[in-house]
Amino acid sequence: MRSEKFVSAIERYLSQHGFGALCPKAVLFDMDGVCYDSMPNHVVAWHESMAHYGLVMTAADAYATEGARGIDTVRNLYRSQKGGEISLEQAQEMYDLKSRIFHSMTPSPIMPGVQELMAQIQADGITIGIVTGSGQRPLIARLLDDFGRFLSVDHIVTAYDVNRGKPAADPYLAGLKKVGGLQPWQAMVVENAPLGVEAGVAARIFTIAVNTGPLPEEMLADKGANIVFKSMTDLSSQWREVYTPSSSTS
């Protein structure tokens, strides 16, 4: 049975967008910080790679820009610290170094609770998609290795599928298309990063934030998250309160 807190969140979402019902046919997951506990490794890789180019990328910077396309993060960082512009090719070179450092580290563990959550979602007959700002092919291959029983390669959106990354709506709009051409009220988003939450909200999809990092929960709520959970295991254990099998949720 859905909790009163969740029913209220749905009612606010429907009222905000003028939708008649929330009828989830797909759940779109972010990757880093949601499927994998990977942000600690990303923090190190960002710091070391950007230092090579005379730039400073702090842990706070890495978490604040999580979910954006890597080349966008590089160009924005360069612009803010050097006061100039770099080409896409230069940004890609810098991001490639970051990627090499990341992949030289011990692989990040699967986020506790996410596989159990996906199993419940799949059992409810709901399609699972991934929407990531990453374009690193080894990571996409690992997604299929770790989550292949829940996920099809056709349901993965990467940085190369969109011209504008998070916080723009484009990645999640692409996700809706990939999982069957759904409307916003026919999906849910699971995100852990402020930019990702913004993207889900901009796409007018019901957005669940899971605070798997060091950011205050208020930051995720302030970006428009419809509801915030403390962890993936918390969301997994409460999935039946989030979703109950029915023809519609209103």
Alpha-carbon dihedral angle through residues 183, 199, 72, 153, given to the nearest 10 degrees: -50
Query: Token pair for residue 214?
Result: 């060091």
Distance (Å, rounded) from C-alpha 25 to C-alpha 43? 34
Tell how strand 187-191 and strand 206-210 pair up. parallel
List CB contacts of 91: < 8 A, sequence separation 6 or more. Answer: 71, 72, 74, 75, 78
List CB contacts of 64: < 8 A, sequence separation 6 or more. Answer: 194, 195
pLDDT digits (tens, 9 = 90+) for 123-142: 999 999 999 988 777 778 89
pLDDT digits (tens, 9 = 90+) for 204-244: 999 999 999 888 889 999 999 999 999 999 999 999 988 98
**pLDDT at position 125, please?**
97
Distance (Å, rounded) from C-alpha 48 to C-alpha 57? 8
In percent, the amount of the chain with pLDDT more than 90 equals 78
**Is 228:221 a contact under the CB 8 Å cutoff?**
yes
**pLDDT at position 204, please?**
98
In percent, the amount of the chain with pLDDT more than 70 equals 98
Distance (Å, rounded) from C-alpha 166 to C-alpha 42? 17
Per-residue pLDDT band for 1 (boundaries 50, 70, 90) equals low
Per-residue pLDDT band for 247 (boundaries 50, 70, 90) equals very low
Distance (Å, rounded) from C-alpha 204 to C-alpha 201? 5
Distance (Å, rounded) from C-alpha 98 to C-alpha 206? 32
Per-residue pLDDT band for 186 (boundaries 50, 70, 90) equals very high
Per-residue pLDDT band for 65 (boundaries 50, 70, 90) equals confident
Q: Give the count of alpha carbons within 13 A of 117, CB side only.
A: 25
Q: What's the pTM?
A: 0.88
Q: Which fold has domain 4-37+109-242?
A: Rossmann fold (3.40.50)
Phi-psi category of residue 183: left, alpha or beta, with phi > 0 → left and psi -120 to 50 → alpha: beta
Query: Token pair for residue 198?
Result: 């913004």
Per-residue pLDDT band for 160 (boundaries 50, 70, 90) equals confident
Map out the domains of the chain as residue ranges. 4-37+109-242, 39-103
- CATH code given to domain 39-103: 1.10.150.240
**pLDDT at position 123, please?**
97
